[in-house]
Amino acid sequence: MTTLTNTRIVLAARPQGRPKPSDFRVESVAIGEPGEGELLLQILYLSLDPYMRGRMNAASSYAKPVEIDGVMEGGTVARVVKSRHAGFAEGDIVLSHSGWQSFAVSDGVGLRKLDPAAAPVTTALGVLGMPGFTAYAGLLTIGRPKAGETVVVAAASGAVGSAVGQIARIKGARAVGIAGGAEKCAFVRQELGFDAVVDHRADNFAEQLKAACPEGIDVYFENVGGAVWDAVFPLLNEFARVPVCGLIAQYNIPVDTGADRLPVLMQQVLHRSLTIRGFIQREFVDQRPAFYREMAEWIASGRVRYREDIVDGIANAPQAFLGLLEGKNFGKLIVRVAG
């Protein structure tokens, strides 16, 4: 067999503030043969997600940072091209966490077989994968929307936000989305069926948000932070719940030099009996079977719709990722690596 060449993207430097192309490096290296009990994966699709920005920092987080010169981390859909593992056969399609590269050797731990007949395999990276589960678990376990309540989510055309709003509606709540630009707003309102949508680029964004939430906000699913938080905060109702799964707007800002908003936050947490709760989806692993079952039903019945933004070629992953941090993607951002 000819030696395969693995194209991989490694972390060249830790970004100061906003990452730039030179923080990444594309490498071509020979990929080894799988040993006994191992298998060789060809990556078909790579998921790009906001959490990856955190992995580029040395600072302690809930997960280990990517090492300098290490392959960037990420969820992937892959085809088994060679197997010396009893549990997998050549041609199997699996969900893996192989990172930003075109091939990987795996010992099979943590792989999940996918059925391409059941759903497009890319959904395992989005609506039927980690982002969809983040929406499902965070909204239902922490947000607990009741019928008639108002649920607000930003990045509403994205992988997590689109699922949050649609699940909220299934539970009888009113879904208000926040998105950037007329095209995304139209998609959120018309295609995803949110009850209202507000463009965060509008000059009077805070006013528009207030008008879109005449009875205040009962659940704010926090995945952006920054200016959106400032507009949401005054509208939170007594007993409002704020699941926090991401802060994309502040990932690139090392230090804020404005006035201290903490005392007012805590005062209002007290006065309005607010709940603010950070989470990572893996905390709720026991809910995954219910998620796969329910979400597949909702997709099949058309109650949950989704959009994917697919970029071609692993070498384009860094540029696509930089665009993601600026909201340039439109739907779940995925890199087609092969196939």
Q: Which is nearer to a second copy, 111 or 153 (CB)?
A: 153
Q: Which amino acid would we find at residue 227?
A: A
Which position among 67, 90, 283, 297 is part of the footprint of a second copy (CB under 8 A)?
283
Minimum CB distance to a second copy smaller for 112 or for 271: 271
Q: What residues between 241 and 280 interact with a second copy by CB under 8 A? A: 244-247, 250, 253, 255-263, 265-280
CB of 53 to a second copy, least distance (A): 12
Q: What are phi and psi of 318, to 5 degrees?
A: -60, -45
Q: Closest separation between CB of residue 188 and a second copy, Å? A: 24
Residue with Cβ nearer a second copy (3 or 257): 257
Residue 62 in the binding site for a second copy (CB under 8 A): yes
Q: Which is nearer to a second copy, 274 or 317 (CB)?
A: 274
Q: Which of 222, 131, 237, 217 is nearest to 174 (CA)?
A: 217
Q: Which is nearer to a second copy, 24 or 251 (CB)?
A: 251
Q: What are phi and psi of 130, to 5 degrees?
A: -55, -45
Q: Which stretch binds a second copy (CB under 8 A): 89-97, 154-162, 198-206, 238-246?
A: 238-246
Query: Least Å distance between CB 158 and a second copy?
Result: 17
Which of 21, 79, 73 shows the shortest CA–CA distance to 47?
73
The answer to whether residues 220 and 274 touch, using CB atoms and an 8 Å cutoff, is no
Rule CB under 8 A: choose which of 225, 305, 310, 338 binds a second copy: 225
Least distance to a second copy, CB of residue 224, Å: 11
Question: Does residue number 14 form part of the binding site for a second copy (CB under 8 A)?
Answer: no
Cβ 260 vs Cβ 238: under 8 Å: no
d(CA 172, CA 129): 24
Element (H, E) at 267: helix 262-271
In terms of Cα–Cα distance, which of 71, 131, 67 is closest to 98? Answer: 71
Choose among 148, 130, 133: nearest CA to 195.
Answer: 148
Q: How far is the CB of 137 from a second copy (least distance, A)?
A: 12
> For residues 278 and 242, what is the distance between their CA atoms, to the nearest angstrom?
8
- The whole-angstrom distance between residue 334's C-alpha and the CA centroid of its chain comes to 11
* DSSP label at residue 330: -
Which of 265, 338 has the CB closer to a second copy?
265
Residue 67 or 230 having the CB closest to a second copy: 230
Q: List residues near a second copy by CB under 8 A.
A: 54, 60-62, 222, 225, 229, 238-239, 244-247, 250, 253, 255-263, 265-280, 283
